[in-house]
């Protein structure tokens, strides 16, 4: 019994060479389901209100995931008390994901879903705080940082539960205020006490959540044509959708992820923690959230071309689904621009221009058939990837093969 207690409560600190554990990958699978639920929620209510609700839920999921990414960098996620906490958090987060379809409109029978979501989410965040305090050990600076962080986290949890109890029409407002308190409060608390032991682990974690979001976009394509005949338009739309997902992957992982990881590794102490907070915890949210909105747009296009009883091939994708598709890709690219600006202090003009072009093309896409609108995004992204390969081929080779810059 004593051995079991010691095994469950021990903490194994990480070091510079620490990498992502299999338990963290397992933890991420819950977020695959959660992201899919958010996409479906917005697809069922493709209105501005539905989009706002989707952003609120994505922001909640994001902050929970980020919290455990930082914890897993402080201590091994697959050992002792951290392992136990992550397993508890997985169960609670799964309840959060299950509650998402009813999070704003509870169905009769069963538990009140908004409260179930808020209470389960509070368990995820508060369990993280307690575990992090244990993992901090004798590090007085980190413990002080966590105690400062506990103020906005506890306040936000209280507001979430209050919103879950109150229900509409106050729920969305209270949850939005909770997010504001959480996001701003942690920023105001500063970064002096945070520790980032392994930049490799941290960058890898955020790369993996981008992969999770991209995977969800592919799932959205499949769900959009579930139980429908595989026709030529469906095949063409699927090819366009996969091409978009591959381009998004390429734009992040081909060079950007390598450069960002190198910049993070060269920082030390508070500078490293601050860069990690800014570039990854904050600036990756628009990158990941935009992918979910892109998935919504692709899902709707697949519905248009697959459901021949409800739609014609000449029908246009309009409203929130079209804005999600084009605006989502634009936000994704602008997120990269901001990421680069924070990391290396320079702008990326061609990705900025591509984002602007997508926004300018929305009125035209509004009048095109949905399949053509999707194809236009795929072509533009493929052209952007091709331009970068041609324009920055030598620099890309040096970055990807860790070669020194020419004298």
The CA distance from 32 to 315, in Å, is: 31
Count of residues making up the chain: 407
CB 300 within 8 A of CB 355: no
- What is the per-residue pLDDT across 352-381, written as a single tens digit (0 to 9) for each? 999 999 999 999 999 999 999 999 999 999
The strand pairing partners of 75, in sequence order, are 13
Sequence-ordered list of residues with C-beta below 8 angstroms from that of 13, at least 6 positions apart, any chain: 74, 75, 76, 135, 137, 197
pTM, rounded to two decimals: 0.94
The CA distance from 293 to 321, in Å, is: 8
Q: Between the CA of residue 338 and those of 61, 92, 142, 226, 242, what are the distances in Å? A: 22, 33, 28, 37, 26
Per-residue confidence in pLDDT tens, the chain, 407 aa: 554 566 667 899 999 999 999 999 999 999 999 999 999 999 999 999 999 999 999 999 999 999 999 999 999 999 999 999 999 999 999 999 999 999 998 888 888 999 999 999 999 999 999 999 999 999 999 999 999 999 999 999 999 999 989 878 889 899 999 999 999 999 998 888 999 999 999 999 999 999 999 998 898 888 767 778 889 999 999 999 999 999 999 999 999 999 999 999 999 999 999 999 999 999 999 999 999 999 999 999 999 999 888 889 999 999 999 999 999 999 999 999 999 999 999 999 999 999 999 999 999 999 999 999 999 999 999 999 999 999 888 888 788 877 776 65
State the Cα angle at 14 between 10 and 16, rounded to 5°: 170
How many CA atoms lie within 13 Å of 210's alpha carbon, on the beta-carbon side?
A: 27
Identify the CA nearest to 216 among candidates 6, 405, 13, 42: 42
Dihedral of CA 92/179/34/252: which sign?
A: negative
- What is the per-residue pLDDT across 195-230, written as a single tens digit (0 to 9) for each? 999 999 999 999 999 999 999 889 888 876 777 888
């Amino acid at each position: 019994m004593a051995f079991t207690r010691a095994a469950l409560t021990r903490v194994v600190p990480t070091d510079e060479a620490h990498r992502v554990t299999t338990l963290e990958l397992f933890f991420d699978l819950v977020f695959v389901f959660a992201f899919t639920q958010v996409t479906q929620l917005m697809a069922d209510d493709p209105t501005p209100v539905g989009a706002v609700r989707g952003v609120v839920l994505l922001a909640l999921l994001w902050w929970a995931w980020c919290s455990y990414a930082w914890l897993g960098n402080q201590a091994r996620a697959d050992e002792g008390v951290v392992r136990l906490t992550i397993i508890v958090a997985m169960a609670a987060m799964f309840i959060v994901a299950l509650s998402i379809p009813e999070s704003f409109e509870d169905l009769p029978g069963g538990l009140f879903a908004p409260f179930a979501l808020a209470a389960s989410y509070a368990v995820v965040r508060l369990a993280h705080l307690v575990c992090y305090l244990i993992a901090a050990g004798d590090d007085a600076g980190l413990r002080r940082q966590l105690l400062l962080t506990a103020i906005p986290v506890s306040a936000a949890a209280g507001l979430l539960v209050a919103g879950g109890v109150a229900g509409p029409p106050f729920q969305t407002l209270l949850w939005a205020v909770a997010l504001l308190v959480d996001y701003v409060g942690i920023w105001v608390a500063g970064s002096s006490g945070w520790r980032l032991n392994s930049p490799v682990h941290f960058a890898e974690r955020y790369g993996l959540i981008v992969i999770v979001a991209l995977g969800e976009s592919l799932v959205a394509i499949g769900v959009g044509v579930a139980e429908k005949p595989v026709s030529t338009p469906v095949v063409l739309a699927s090819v366009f959708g996969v091409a978009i997902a591959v381009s998004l992957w390429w734009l992040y992982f081909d060079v950007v992820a390598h450069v960002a990881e190198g910049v993070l590794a060269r920082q030390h102490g508070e500078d490293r923690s601050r860069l990690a907070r800014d570039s990854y915890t904050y600036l990756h949210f628009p990158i990941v959230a935009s992918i979910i909105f892109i998935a919504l747009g692709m899902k709707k296009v697949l519905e248009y071309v697959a459901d021949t009883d409800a739609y014609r091939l000449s029908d246009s994708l309009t409203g929130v689904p079209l804005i999600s598709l084009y605006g989502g890709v634009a936000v994704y690219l602008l997120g990269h621009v901001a990421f680069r600006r924070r990391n290396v202090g320079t702008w990326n003009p061609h990705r900025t221009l591509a984002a602007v072009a997508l926004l300018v093309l929305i009125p035209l896409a509004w009048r095109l058939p949905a399949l053509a609108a999707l194809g236009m995004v795929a072509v533009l992204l493929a052209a952007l990837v091709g331009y970068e390969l041609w324009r920055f081929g030598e620099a890309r080779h040096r970055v990807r093969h860790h070669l020194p810059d020419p004298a």
